[in-house]
Structure 1
């Protein structure tokens, strides 16, 4: 199998195109290390929603590719306090007075390594908070985040490592705003497609899209776990799952003959499901929306602490299949 890496320009930015006989992808380090394109070549379909132009991308950047969220989703009034340290983010969802999506997805990352070794492609990028001193006003700790991509055949492994480079511990939560073209095929209809999620708990949200703290059994949990059609249904919902469920989301377009399986490791205890016409975002999170501001145990919210010098690795995987 012939594997390759090329330096290209995409959306007027330096980008990396890489692939093999089965898959081709584009990573844009300057745009938050966003995996902006993922094509399943065997079926000639774009798996991820990719912008046609820079103008399209600028309208809503978060709705293309696979933006990295740190912290994920919303922070009430843009701030929280943890161990006497205040973390204050800009209010960028003004109508709800929230901060949303964090600060990693729109900053330039550095390319650390890119290589082809046999049939495997390896690319590594890095974000260092020291490069952006102004971020101390919202995140006063020093951190380094690295993203490692491994492509082999039809499988893309993605490892995200978060390292505390400071002297104080900090709370952390991460996720992905993964935007899938769905249906995958141009001739497919949504009524013929199914999505399955490993969920059985639903968090009730208030009118600011923040958790109230009430957790209930998911309606139609078995239907969602086994796969259901989103035709005529709109979601912007927050779910959790029990550890006995296999943590993977499956998207199936029978007419196009394509299935994508989206795996998350044990750190991703929550999924947000969001969709609009033409795309769906199953978003794996390590903590629940607004976790630091919830008066609930950390084992429920997913809030974790990273000590000085400590590193945590989060693993996800995208597998493309012909069906």
Structure 2
């Protein structure tokens, strides 16, 4: 059997590793169920930004800029406050410069490993975090619900399945995204100049000086048009930009091509994600983050309709779920 699933530390941290053919991946359950590594060991490709051995404490202090962190809710919320169905929610202001709450609570909280193993077709791990009256997150999101993540590997690459299950008797605001941190380049011997990418964006949201959407949209720059089709370097400018997602040919995806080796990394996400954020750490020339989001930044405080913002109300007993995939072509 070509697959494996086993527990082995990622440096100092507890991790579950998956292997299948040339691929391997690692999840750190106690640090937000972050999928911290996805690699092609035959070709030496490292698709996601990973902390090095001497960067583990740095990773734990800033989990957002490594691997695939879970954002619930994603991005920024004005003064950390919003109202949903007459109830006011107050989150800590953890970005003092903007006066906003940023990125939610699940990217650094411990998750539980439900199961891992190998079948005839994949190696997999399933993780969950359940919020109830006893959980620390309940004081900010006073609802009973469970988030689940399932990652699997096979010859086609990495598959992510995520679900949110409302286990209470009230509607809950369902807002989720992923701060996926992609190495560009991902191949040894390649340079940033070897890489171009495309992203299925539609229009760009105007952001205020506090990085909150104004509700207006801006015309795309020529470079952004090249993001839509044709391709451009991920470092064409400093990006912390917000866009509508508009699938192309039925798919909502980021594609990163290394022209030196003639390979393309595809990040194919569900069309349920109505928005993209993209951030490149001030043109780091090392990594960038194409971030699929279910909802507009600060969506509950927007006067725009839910159909446009992507804001989801999850009814009692309801399950929202989606899949995404990372693979090479």
Instruction: State the TM bucket, normalised to the shorter chain.
Output: over 0.9
Deviation at 1:258, TM superposition (A): 3.4
Q: Which runs of 5+ in 1 are unaligned?
A: none
Q: Partner residue of 1:274?
A: 279
Q: How big is each residue's C-alpha offset from its partner over 1:147-183, in whole Å with a ceiling of 9 and x where there is no partner? A: 1112111321111010111111011111100001111
How far apart, CA to CA, are the structure 1 residues paired with 2:243 and 2:121?
A: 37
How far apart, CA to CA, are the structure 1 residues paired with 2:156 and 2:92?
A: 39
Deviation at 1:102, TM superposition (A): 0.6
How far apart, CA to CA, are the structure 1 residues paired with 2:323 and 2:82?
A: 27
Q: Partner residue of 1:134?
A: 136
Change (3 A) 1:187 1:131: farther
Deviation at 1:243, TM superposition (A): 4.8
Q: TM-score, normalised by structure 1?
A: 0.95
Contact residue 175 and residue 294 of structure 2 kept, 8 A: yes
Q: How big is each residue's C-alpha offset from its partner over 1:22-42, in whole Å with a ceiling of 9 and x where there is no partner? A: 211111111111100111123
Deviation at 1:241, TM superposition (A): 2.8
How far apart, CA to CA, are the structure 2 residues paired with 1:318 and 1:254?
A: 18
Q: TM-score, normalised by structure 2?
A: 0.93
Asked whether 1:229 is paired with 2:237, we answer no
Given candidates 236, 261, 268, the residue that maps to 2:266 is: 261
Counting matched residue pairs gives 321
Q: Which runs of 5+ in 2 are unaligned?
A: none
Change (3 A) 1:59 1:256: farther
Contact residue 174 and residue 312 of structure 2 kept, 8 A: yes
How far apart, CA to CA, are the structure 2 residues paired with 1:243 and 1:150?
A: 24
Deviation at 1:13, TM superposition (A): 2.5
Change (3 A) 1:203 1:232: closer
Q: How big is each residue's C-alpha offset from its partner over 1:216-269, in whole Å with a ceiling of 9 and x where there is no partner? A: 342335411221113442210001133555311101112244321001112111
State the superposition RMSD in angstroms: 1.6
Moved more, 172-181 or 217-226: 217-226
Q: Partner residue of 1:44?
A: 44
- Moved beyond 6 Å, runs of 4+: none
Q: Partner residue of 1:238?
A: 242
Asked whether 1:112 is paired with 2:117, we answer no
3-state SS of 2:307 partner:
helix
Given candidates 151, 158, 161, the residue that maps to 1:159 is: 161
Which aligned pairs between 1:66-85 and structure 2 lie closer than 5 A?
Answer: 66-85=68-87
Contact residue 23 and residue 154 of structure 1 kept, 8 A: no
Moved more, 248-257 or 303-312: 248-257
